[in-house]
Amino acid sequence: MSNESLANLMTETRRFAPPAEVAAAANVTAADYEAAAEDRLGYWAEQARRLTWEREPTETLDWSNPPFAKWFADGRLNVAYNCVDRHVEAGHGDRVAIHFEGEPGDSRAITYAELQREVSQAAHALTELGVATGDRVAIYMPMIPEAVIAMLACARIGAPHSVVFGAFSADALATRIEDADARVVITSDGGYRRGAPSALKPAVDEALTRPGAARVRNVLVVRRTGQDIPWTEGRDLWWHETVGRQPEEHTPEAFDAEHPLFILYTSGTTGKPKGILHTTGGYLTQVAYTHHAVFDLKPETDVYWCTADIGWVTGHSYIVYGPLANGATEVLYEGTPNTPHQGRWWEIVEKYGVTLLYTAPTAIRTCMKWGDEIPAGFNLSSLRVLGSVGEPINPEAWVWYREHIGGGRTPVVDTWWQTETGAMMISPLPGVTLAKPGSAQTPLPGISATVVDDDGNEVANGSGGYLTLTEPWPSMLRTIWGDDQRFLDTYWSRFEGRYFAGDGAKKDADGDIWLLGRVDDVMLVSGHNISTTEVESALVSHPRIAEAAVVGATDPQTTQAICAFVILRGGAPQEEGLVEELRAHVAKELGPIAKPKRVLAVDELPKTRSGKIMRRLLRDIAEDRELGDVTTLTDPAVMDLIQSKLPSAPSDD
Ligand code: WT7
């Protein structure tokens, strides 16, 4: 794509009309926006009927004690029954629920009937281990079917789970076990990662030596790799022995709609992790509804794949609860996208005929970097809707995704939401909204969001500010586990009566919403607010740039100076004059004020496991400080690699 067409893309609003056949058959239509605008609670009450309730709710929302919401409070249901048993009862027992693809190439198809038996057995096993309704269970697992089964088994007996990402350290695991006071941990010997078995169990053993985690009674261990692991007799139990001998039938008990379903700790790029609490009826209603609406899911024919890890909310809502509540067939992949080769994902799409794909912009940009010829080597014609989540998707990556993965046919849905919101909130709808590369666009039917200024007044079209949610929604977090005050302070105190998401956003001339990243990531340069996202987006619109991360470094003249870290495309060496060219390019795209003071070419960027750039570490580098905590990085060695590339003298002007 030429520079000029890129520039057009960045500055103009380019629209992509949904293909006629998608529009004609879409699950949700323009009428849904109208219905929800007219009667928001009525619309949600109707969506709640997508679930099977043991006792149908007569109440929709109790907002008498804001911000502590109760949704469908007098309803009772069982989440696992909704995600598994009812599909078997409806005659879909032979439908594949999960196509598991192990990294070494082993695979296993699990039907809904099999899933029902295994979840039932696991539920019996937990009960046998003394786990009662309301007790917390920690899950520390690789991406294998037992991770999903363990979550559903907890839900089945009303024991809230706390899933801890399988690559977090023993310390991170210990703090989370302690905060939730979990008494049972479910783990595995290890999993396959980058072509080799990597161990998990030793981290559990280490975590359990910390005083706060000493109350754990049992560790249930799935055998995945068969590697040698340390074993504590009496405490540790093999999954295949303990679960394997249980009865295959289990009667699910219904719980109140507000019964806690899970705690999930936010990734914590700053401060102590917060235990986000989600409950049962409202959460399941919104994840099921949004998965149905935004992916336009047709469970009879679609094959859905979400590439996230179950350790993140995306995995909870859009691998486990949403798709399974809808009776979908989905792919679960254990490994990395480039093991054993850079086409592994596309090979999986081809193998299973994946129709709906949900991934993150960082993964899309990585694939762009590997080269267009890689996806071109596979048949991706089954794909029908592509989703994006996790950070703003730059228009360049959006267009690449649609053209090189979606063959130019597929809608791309850029879904904005958070661990705290539990489910998608702002997104285009395939077949309904016209698409704008880079914009999350419109709140979904039933969701109220707006962009406000410092005083909480709604900004005019064409202006930027803070993203707020103005009405409660079914899958909203109910509190921070054990810390109601922090819940109030963090989300409800900045703007009276509204939820403040922490993100900056702007409204374009049509009133569509563009996300600008966390407001903590806004730079102040000579009195101007400049978002890191916008400068990054401008940089990656240059043909030589694959990825960019921008931070504001303290500067005596300008308050902050823009410092850009860039990865060059194709890894080619940096040509003479490139830095100047990039600075000029940003100035042309965004104006001279946004011109980076420094541009440093690096090989990697520091990212959390969920793919978020850890700007605070880049700021440490830009400001010549000692590095802060690097333990949540995917690969802490990246920081050495970046530092070894320095210094490149700051240029003046
Ligand atoms: C933050 C939430 C939602 C699951 C994964 C992340 C950013 C998320 C988008 C998007 C722009 C996005 C926001 C948000 N974010 N999706 N489509 N466009 N930004 O969950 O770890 O709780 O992070 O991710 O900054 O606040 P999370």
**Are the C-beta atoms of residues 472 and 67 closer than 8 Å to each other?**
yes
Ligand 1 site, residue 418, Cβ cutoff 6 A: yes
Average pLDDT over residues 406-418: 95
Q: Is 5 inside a domain boundary?
A: no
> 578 versus 12: which is more confidently predicted?
578
Same domain, 197 and 232: yes
Q: Where a domain ends, among 473, 505, 537? A: 505
Same domain, 464 and 424: yes
Ligand 1 site, residue 417, Cβ cutoff 6 A: yes
Dihedrals phi, psi of 551, to nearest 5 degrees: -135, 160
Same domain, 493 and 539: no
Question: How many domains does the chain divide into?
Answer: 2
DSSP of 177-235: HHHHT-SEEEEESEEEETTEEEE-HHHHHHHTTSGGGTT--EEEEE-SS-------TTT
Q: What does the pLDDT read at residue 438?
A: 87
* Half-sphere CA count of 506, side-chain side, radius 13 A: 13
Q: Is 315 inside a domain boundary?
A: yes
**Are the C-beta atoms of residues 117 and 125 closer than 8 Å to each other?**
no
What is the band of 271 on the pLDDT scale with cuts at 50, 70, 90? low
Say yes or no to pLDDT of 57 above 60: yes
Q: Is 392 annotated as a binding residue?
A: yes
What is the band of 288 on the pLDDT scale with cuts at 50, 70, 90? very high
Q: Where a domain ends, among 476, 505, 534? A: 505
Domain with residue 593: its CATH number is 3.30.300.30
Lowest mean per-residue pLDDT among 299-313, 320-334, 575-589, 620-634: 620-634
Same domain, 493 and 535: no
Could you count the other beta carbons within 10 Å of the beta carbon of residue 193? 17
Greatest mean pLDDT among 256-265, 429-438, 545-554 lies in 256-265
Same domain, 83 and 137: yes
Average pLDDT over residues 155-173: 93
What is the band of 571 on the pLDDT scale with cuts at 50, 70, 90? low
What is the band of 572 on the pLDDT scale with cuts at 50, 70, 90? low
Distance CA 641, CA 604 (A): 8
Ligand 1 site, residue 499, Cβ cutoff 6 A: no
Q: What is the pLDDT of residues 239-257, one digit of tens each?
A: 999 999 999 999 999 999 9
**Are the C-beta atoms of residues 305 and 331 closer than 8 Å to each other?**
yes
Q: Is 379 annotated as a binding residue?
A: no
Say yes or no to pLDDT of 635 above 80: no
Q: Write the residue with the smallest CA distance to atom 7 of ligand 1.
A: 391
Q: Is 101 inside a domain boundary?
A: yes
Q: What is the pLDDT of residues 308-351, one digit of tens each?
A: 999 999 999 999 999 999 999 999 999 999 999 999 999 999 99
Average pLDDT over residues 137-146: 98
Average pLDDT over residues 113-137: 98
Distance CA 114, CA 93 (A): 8
Q: Where a domain ends, among 454, 474, 505? A: 505
Q: Is 518 inside a domain boundary?
A: no
Q: What does the pLDDT read at residue 186?
A: 98
pTM: 0.87
Q: Is 504 annotated as a binding residue?
A: no
What is the band of 363 on the pLDDT scale with cuts at 50, 70, 90? very high
Q: Which domain holds residue 532?
A: 526-644
Domain with residue 118: its CATH number is 3.40.50.12780
> 617 versus 235: which is more confidently predicted?
235
Ligand 1 site, residue 218, Cβ cutoff 6 A: no
Find the 335 Cα to ligand 1 centroid distance in Å: 23
Q: What does the pLDDT read at residue 16?
A: 64
Q: Is 12 inside a domain boundary?
A: no
Same domain, 543 and 499: no
Tokens 């990865």 belong to 567
DSSP of 6-54: HHHHHHS---BPPPHHHHHH-SS-HHHHHHHHH-HHHHHHHHHTTSPPS
Pick from 358, 416, 632 the residue to mutate for probing ligand 1's pocket: most ligand atoms within 8 Å of its CB. 416
Same domain, 482 and 559: no
Give me the chain's average pLDDT, please.
91
Q: Is 517 inside a domain boundary?
A: no
3 state SS of 355: coil
Average pLDDT over residues 296-319: 97
Q: Is 418 annotated as a binding residue?
A: yes
What is the band of 33 on the pLDDT scale with cuts at 50, 70, 90? very high
Of residues 355, 354, 374, the one with CA closest to residue 363: 374
Q: What does the pLDDT read at residue 22?
A: 65
Q: What does the pLDDT read at residue 260?
A: 98
Q: Is 437 inside a domain boundary?
A: no
3 state SS of 283: helix
Write out 492-517 in H/E/C secondary structure: CCCCCCCEEEEEEEEECCCCCEEEEE
Q: Is 183 inside a domain boundary?
A: yes
**Are the C-beta atoms of residues 318 and 292 closer than 8 Å to each other?**
no
Say yes or no to pLDDT of 1 above 50: no
Same domain, 474 and 603: no
Distance CA 388, CA 642 (A): 28
* Contact partners, residue 343, CB within 8 Å, separation at least 6: 374, 375, 377, 378
Same domain, 501 and 533: no
Say yes or no to pLDDT of 648 above 50: no
Average pLDDT over residues 268-296: 90
Ligand 1 site, residue 307, Cβ cutoff 6 A: no
